[in-house]
Structure 1
Amino acid sequence: MNTFKSIAVPVTRRLGAGKAKPSAGASGADRHSERAAAEFQRQPAQPTTPHAVHRFHVGQRLTMARGSRDIARSAAVCQVVALLPHESGPLLYRVRSELESFERVVDEVDLAPYR
């Protein structure tokens, strides 16, 4: 009697259950390739591109560089509120200055460790 997972798909044997084991006379290259294939299947997938890593963490106190004439920002001590996800361009942080009542989004290059 056949058992079924669903109406349309019959149960099949597990992967690798029907494979013949290599005989004692199998060449070393065959055993090596099988071992390498098994090791490859056990390894987790690695990202294809390295991701950018934020240098500062949430809650850390930093000094924020003074902005240019176009950016109304004074040099001040601030605290990191959130690390913003990196899609492209510079790494961004949401920070709150001790002198201001609102939060700003600032590039990583405009921040330095508080001394």
Structure 2
Amino acid sequence: MVLMTKLYKLKHNKYFLAAKLICLAAFPLWLISIPKTSFDDHSQTLCLFTLLTDIECYGCGLTRACIRLINLDFVGAWNFNKVSFIVFPILCFLLLQEFIVTSKKFLKLINLK
């Protein structure tokens, strides 16, 4: 019970919300600044499924494809993973939704005091 109240207080702390907003705003900017070829070396994989079976899973190449989509290289993204055209817009929507919810909480806390 004590842990729940500490988490509640942390999530409703204006400094925590400000830091979260900064991170949510900086993350897309950081992704845009990454060169699209920085993840192309896939000789070393972290995918447990691929390591155990030597077969690429449905998620293999998804990070590289999303980086390509950010850089507007649609052909490269299609070649790495076709699922990225479904996953990437969903991720963008969820990031934007979290930014809006957090900014509303932050503005509500600032206006109360």
TM-score in same-fold range (> 0.5): no
* Structure whose alpha-carbon radius of gyration is higher: 1
Higher strand share: 1
Please give the TM-score of this superposition, normalised by the length of structure 2: 0.23
